Amino acid sequence: MRKIYMFDTTLRDGEQSPGVNLNTQEKVEIALQLEKLGIDRIEAGFPIASPGDLAAVNAVARAVKNASVTGLARSREKDIDAVVEALKGAQDPRIHIFLATSPIHRKHKLRMEKHEVLEAAEAMIKYAKKHFSQVEFSAEDAGRTEIDFLVEVTALAVKLGVSVVNLPDTVGYLSPYEYGNIFKTMKEQVPGIEKVQLSAHCHDDLGLATANALAAIQNGADQIEGTINGIGERAGNTALEEVALALYTRGEFFQATTGLNLQEIAKTSRLVSKLTGMPVPGNKAIVGANAFAHESGIHQDGVLKEKTTYEIISPATIGMKDSKLVLGKHSGRHAFREKLVDLGFEGLSEEQVNAAFGKFKDLADRKKDVSNEDILALLEEKIIETPEVFALEQLIVSFDSHKGPSATVRLKTPSGIVSHTAEGNGSVDAIYHAINAQTGEVVELDDYTIKSVTDGTDALGEVHVVLKQGEYSAQGRGVSTDILEASARAYVDALNRLVEKRQEPPRTKRDRDNVTLI
Ligand X SMILES: CC(C)C(=O)C(=O)O
For the chain, the distance separating the N- and C-terminal CA atoms, rounded to the nearest angstrom, is: 60
Residue 159 CB, shortest distance to ligand ACO, in Å, is 20
d(CA 448, CA 141): 52
Closest CA to 202 of 224, 184, 217: 224
DSSP state of 48: G
Q: Could you give the angle at the alpha carbon of 188 between the alpha carbons of 185 and 190, nearest 5°?
A: 90
Q: Tell me how many residues contact ligand X (CB under 6 A).
A: 10
If one asks whether residue 132 binds ligand X (CB under 6 A), the answer comes out as no
**Which one of ligand ACO, ligand X, Mg ion, none is in contact with 109 (Cβ closer than 5 to 8 A by kind)?**
ligand ACO
Neighbour-count burial for 331-362, b at 16+ CB within 10 Å, e otherwise: bbbbbbbbbbeeeebeebeeebbebbbebbee
Residue 45 CB, shortest distance to ligand ACO, in Å, is 9
d(CA 397, CA 400): 10
Q: Which of 11, 30, 31, 49 binds ligand ACO (CB under 6 A)?
A: 49
Q: How far is CA 65 from CA 26, 40, 42, 55, in A?
A: 17, 11, 11, 17
**Closer residue to ligand X (CB): 7 or 345:** 7
Closest CA to 436 of 428, 479, 475: 428
* Rg value, the chain, Cα: 30
Q: Which of 140, 295, 301, 462 binds ligand X (CB under 6 A)?
A: 140
If one asks whether residue 13 binds Mg ion (CB under 5 A), the answer comes out as yes
Please list the residues that pair with 473 across neighbouring strands: 468
- How is the chain split among helix, strand and coil, in percent rounded to 5? 45, 20, 35
Is 237 labelled a binding residue? yes
CB 40 within 8 A of CB 7: yes
- Going through 48-118 in order, the beta strands assigned E by DSSP cover 68-74, 93-100
If one asks whether residue 204 binds ligand X (CB under 6 A), the answer comes out as no
If one asks whether residue 46 binds ligand ACO (CB under 6 A), the answer comes out as yes
Instruction: Provide the sign of the torsion angle of the four alpha carbons 285, 287, 290, 292, taken in this order.
Output: positive
Residue 361 CB, shortest distance to Mg ion, in Å, is 48
CB 374 within 8 A of CB 383: yes
Q: Tell me how many residues contact Mg ion (CB under 5 A).
A: 1
Site for ligand X, residues 52 to 81, rule: CB under 6 A: 72
Is 201 labelled a binding residue? yes
**Closer residue to ligand X (CB): 214 or 486:** 214
**Closer residue to Mg ion (CB): 179 or 432:** 179
Span interacting with Mg ion, options 11-19, 252-260, 426-434, 495-503, rule CB under 5 A? 11-19
CB 231 within 8 A of CB 253: no
Residue 238 CB, shortest distance to Mg ion, in Å, is 10
**Closer residue to ligand ACO (CB): 26 or 233:** 233
CB 214 within 8 A of CB 176: yes
**Which one of ligand ACO, ligand X, Mg ion, none is in contact with 49 (Cβ closer than 5 to 8 A by kind)?**
ligand ACO
Residue 107 CB, shortest distance to ligand X, in Å, is 17
Site for ligand ACO, residues 75 to 134, rule: CB under 6 A: 75-76, 98-99, 109-110
Span interacting with ligand ACO, options 43-51, 190-198, 440-448, 454-462, rule CB under 6 A? 43-51
**Which one of ligand ACO, ligand X, Mg ion, none is in contact with 143 (Cβ closer than 5 to 8 A by kind)?**
none
**Closer residue to Mg ion (CB): 79 or 493:** 79
CB 484 within 8 A of CB 392: no
If one asks whether residue 16 binds ligand ACO (CB under 6 A), the answer comes out as yes
**Which one of Mg ion, ligand ACO, ligand X, none is in contact with 246 (Cβ closer than 5 to 8 A by kind)?**
none
Q: Could you give the angle at the alpha carbon of 492 between the alpha carbons of 489 and 493, nearest 5°?
A: 80
**Closer residue to ligand ACO (CB): 112 or 289:** 112
d(CA 221, CA 241): 17
Is 203 labelled a binding residue? yes
Q: Which of 37, 86, 92, 98 binds ligand X (CB under 6 A)?
A: 98
**Closer residue to ligand ACO (CB): 93 or 168:** 168
Q: What are phi and psi of 157, to 5 degrees?
A: -60, -40
CB 180 within 8 A of CB 150: no
Site for ligand X, residues 425 to 464, rule: CB under 6 A: none
If one asks whether residue 172 binds ligand X (CB under 6 A), the answer comes out as no
If one asks whether residue 41 binds ligand X (CB under 6 A), the answer comes out as no
d(CA 440, CA 355): 37
Q: Beta 404-413 vs 391-400: how paired, if at all?
A: antiparallel
Residue 208 CB, shortest distance to Mg ion, in Å, is 14
- Binding track over 152-171 against ligand X, x by CB under 6 A: --------------x-x-x-
Residue 299 CB, shortest distance to ligand ACO, in Å, is 40
d(CA 407, CA 429): 9
Residue 221 CB, shortest distance to Mg ion, in Å, is 15
Q: Could you give the angle at the alpha carbon of 93 between the alpha carbons of 91 and 95, nearest 5°?
A: 175
Site for ligand ACO, residues 231 to 270, rule: CB under 6 A: 233
**Closer residue to Mg ion (CB): 232 or 461:** 232
Neighbour-count burial for 9-43, b at 16+ CB within 10 Å, e otherwise: bbbbbbbbbeebebebebbbbbbbbbbebbbbbbb
Q: Which of 39, 48, 167, 214 binds ligand ACO (CB under 6 A)?
A: 48
d(CA 289, CA 279): 10
Residues found near Mg ion in the complex (CB under 5 A) = 13
Tell me the binding residues for Mn(2+): 13, 201, 203, 237
Residues found near ligand ACO in the complex (CB under 6 A) = 13, 16, 46, 48-49, 74-76, 98-99, 109-110, 140, 170, 233
Residues found near ligand X in the complex (CB under 6 A) = 13, 72, 98, 138, 140, 166, 168, 170, 201, 203
